[in-house]
Amino acid sequence: MSDLVINELTKAFGETIAVNDLCLKFEEGEAVVLLGPSGCGKTTLLKLIAGFLQPDNGHIAIGDDIISTPHEVIPPDRRQMSMVFQSYAIWPHKTVFQNVAYGLEVRKINKSDIKKRVMNALSMVQLDGLEGRYSTELSGGQQQRVAVARAIVVEPSLLLLDEPLSNLDANLRIEMRSELSDLHKRLGITFVYVTHDQAEAMVLGDRIVLMNYGRMVQEGTPEVFYQTPKNRFAASFIGTSNIFSGKLENGSSGGTIRVRTDFGPITVAKQVENAASSADEVYFCVRPEWVKFHTEAPGTDINVYKVRILKRQYYGKYIQYTVDLKGKEIIVEATDEWDIPLEAEVNLEFPPERCVCLENN
Ligand SMILES: Nc1ncnc2c1ncn2[C@@H]1O[C@H](COP(=O)(O)OP(=O)(O)OP(=O)(O)O)[C@@H](O)[C@H]1O
Ligand SMILES: [Mg+2]
């Protein structure tokens, strides 16, 4: 399948604009994750792509072929796409084999080909040997695999997955997300994967599209999202962030700016795409593991402030501290070589290149 192009797509339900003037492109073979809070339009966008909904404005195209407009929608079964629903929607009164075979039967494929393809799809999702079971005799993870097998058996060019792991417990979720990632590599088809779990988005997405209120907030690789979130919403939605605001000081030049915060001046490296606007209110963020403790005098006095330890939580791989900096609480994550007691006073450094300037919105 060629690239899937979404152009100025809008879909409203009464007063609610679920998808708002969205432009996106999914490249062939890519795994794209749609991420965003509840109600931001993720499922609506998937249904528009799959052909279950008609847009109010804009269009969807595959290569040069327009497949959805406000006037005409090519139906789902003529789109070479499959969708895995959050609820799995597998039939309890059919066996695993019958569930997976259904899509091929309605396409009038001959019996021996159906058998071959179903067994192959079940093997892809590691359900060999379970074809005779009823779904009521399967675990949640196995049911989820049946739903995936049923979607891939029709050999779609694009697989749409709507929060397929949300009903699973934490451990199974981690296992299944890695299996889905392997499956994507094996099949080589385009995956569009919806989640509101940021860890899942980071692991599964070649690219993440972050949405809010039906619009795209930011798109990019997981690394881009983590290293250079675009605004406060992106910085707090993906990973933990300490977000600061202040006034832009005159005389900022070169690759850095100076921001006057409530606790004092901070030098912020100017990221190319996230350069602070000229507005005098400036926001920047620092991830908890990017700040550095110093128990002795640090080699620099740029961005170094005395803080007091308020809270200490041991996570094994790291210790998370909540520290007080002149009334502002900051989250710091440090390895256990920094075992600092409560109430202790230490120096905290905000390396300028780790202070990420945010857009002012
Ligand atoms: N059939 C419908 N009728 C009326 N409003 C709808 C309908 N479907 C969705 N909406 C509204 O459109 C907005 C987007 O819904 P959508 O289901 O796309 O969100 P979502 O991002 O998938 O959320 P979640 O993470 O909770 O699944 C919501 O405000 C929702 O209430
Ligand atoms: Mg949804």
Domain ranges for the chain:
4-227, 240-358
Rounded-to-integer distance, Cα 81 and Cα 87, Å:
18
Proximal ligand: closest to the CA of 36: 1
pLDDT of residue 274: 54
Whose CA is closest to atom 19 on ligand 1? Answer: 39
* Residue 214 Cα: closest atom of ligand 1: 14
What does the pLDDT read at residue 308?
A: 96
Choose which CATH entry (2.40.30.10, 2.40.50.100, 1.10.1240.10, 3.50.50.60) describes domain 240-358. 2.40.50.100
Q: Domain 4-227 is classified in which CATH homologous superfamily?
A: P-loop containing nucleotide triphosphate hydrolases (3.40.50.300)
- Tell me the CA–centroid distance for residue 329 and ligand 2, in Å: 34
Q: What is residue 293's predicted lDDT score, i.e. its pLDDT?
A: 92
Burial class (CB in 10 A: 0-12, 13-18, 19+), 343: exposed
Residue 89 has pLDDT above 60, yes or no: yes
The residues with which 12 forms a beta bridge, in sequence order, are: 17
Q: Number of C-alpha atoms within 13 angstroms, CB side, residue 67? A: 25
Residue 196 in contact with ligand 1 by CB distance below 6 A: yes
Calculate mean pLDDT across residues 171-199: 87
- CA distance linking residue 261 with residue 250, whole number of Å: 14
pLDDT of residue 252: 59
The answer to which of 95-99, 122-126, 286-290, 320-324 has the lowest mean pLDDT is: 122-126
pLDDT tens digits along 24-79: 999 999 999 999 999 999 999 999 999 999 999 999 999 999 999 999 999 998 89
Question: Averaged over 201-216, what is the pLDDT?
Answer: 94
Q: Which residue's CA is the closest to the ligand 1 atom numbered 17?
A: 43
Do 240-358 and 4-227 fall under one CATH topology? no
Distance (angstroms) between ligand 2 centre and the Cα of 176 equals 19
Residue-wise pLDDT for 263-277, tens only, equals: 999 998 866 555 555
Cβ–ligand 1 distance for 87 under 6 Å, the answer: no
